[in-house]
Amino acid sequence: MTVAVKKFHHDSDLIDQFSRQLCRELERAVAERGHAYLVVSGGRTPVPLFERLSKQVLPWPRITIVLADERWLPATDAQSNERLVRQHLLQHQAAAANFISLLTDASDAHQAVTEVNERLADLPRFDVVILGMGEDGHTASLFPCSAELEHALSTADSVAAVTPTTAPHQRMSLSLARLLNSRHIYFHLSGTNKATVLEQAMQPEADFPVSRFLQQQQVPVEVMLAVPEE
């Protein structure tokens, strides 16, 4: 399956097209199956997309949002992905959406794996998964530097606890298997550095965590990439 890469020179053009496409897919999922499941990522890149999506008229009560990964922090922390989603996505029209948190009261993410797996156990195939990527080739919290990487890439569980050594905070990440149990995966990327890493990660011999998504044959992948004009 080939990866479709759509390049934009302006973030705003990317957001226009991406949000329209997402609306169509979410509407279609609700029309066909009665409910839509949307997975979103944290980090800085998705903020303008979240803000745009939050204002769209969609059947939000029939849409459930899950994070691809969470930093193991209270949901009130400025670095929390849940806080980001609550502040920028679950607003306006989208305030009516359902949200499933990846957080528990446990102080260590490893202690929370069973509880979070149970919380996600009944979820069907995701309709749309939106992932980001770091310049080290991580996606979700599948960090190349972490001791738990092989487990997170091979487990049949929905989630894995991950301790990155090159990024702050312990994480709870959806596993590779759970993320690939989806109908459509998007990567939302911005900047020339990420464009370069993407190109490397798409090579057949590349072994970045993100390569597991770019090289698989199971789920269609589309990259929405904003790079300034040369």
Ligand X SMILES: O=C(O)[C@H](O)[C@@H](O)[C@H](O)[C@H](O)COP(=O)(O)O
Answer for the pair 3, 202: CB distance below 8 angstroms, yes or no: yes
Nearer of residues 68 and 223 to ligand X, judged by Cβ: 68
Nearer of residues 142 and 202 to ligand X, judged by Cβ: 142
Nearer of residues 62 and 71 to ligand X, judged by Cβ: 71
Instruction: Quote the least distance from Cβ 128 to ligand X, whole Å.
Output: 15
Nearer of residues 26 and 49 to ligand X, judged by Cβ: 49
Instruction: Quote the least distance from Cβ 160 to ligand X, whole Å.
Output: 14
Q: Which residue is nearest to ligand X (CB)?
A: 132
Nearer of residues 133 and 149 to ligand X, judged by Cβ: 133
Instruction: Quote the least distance from Cβ 59 to ligand X, whole Å.
Output: 26
Positions touching ligand X (CB under 6 A) are 41-45, 68-69, 71, 81, 132-134, 138-140
Instruction: Quote the least distance from Cβ 161 to ligand X, whole Å.
Output: 14
Cα(57)–Cα(114) distance, rounded to whole angstroms?
36
Nearer of residues 30 and 90 to ligand X, judged by Cβ: 90
Instruction: Say which residue the tokens 């890469």 belong to.
Output: 5
Sign of the Cα torsion 212, 217, 218, 219 reads positive
Instruction: Quote the least distance from Cβ 70 to ligand X, whole Å.
Output: 7
In terms of Cα–Cα distance, which of 71, 187, 46, 51 is closest to 129? Answer: 187
Tokens of 7: 């390049």
Instruction: Quote the least distance from Cβ 134 to ligand X, whole Å.
Output: 4
Nearer of residues 36 and 84 to ligand X, judged by Cβ: 84
Residue 160: beta bridge partners? Answer: 173
Instruction: Quote the least distance from Cβ 26 to ligand X, whole Å.
Output: 20
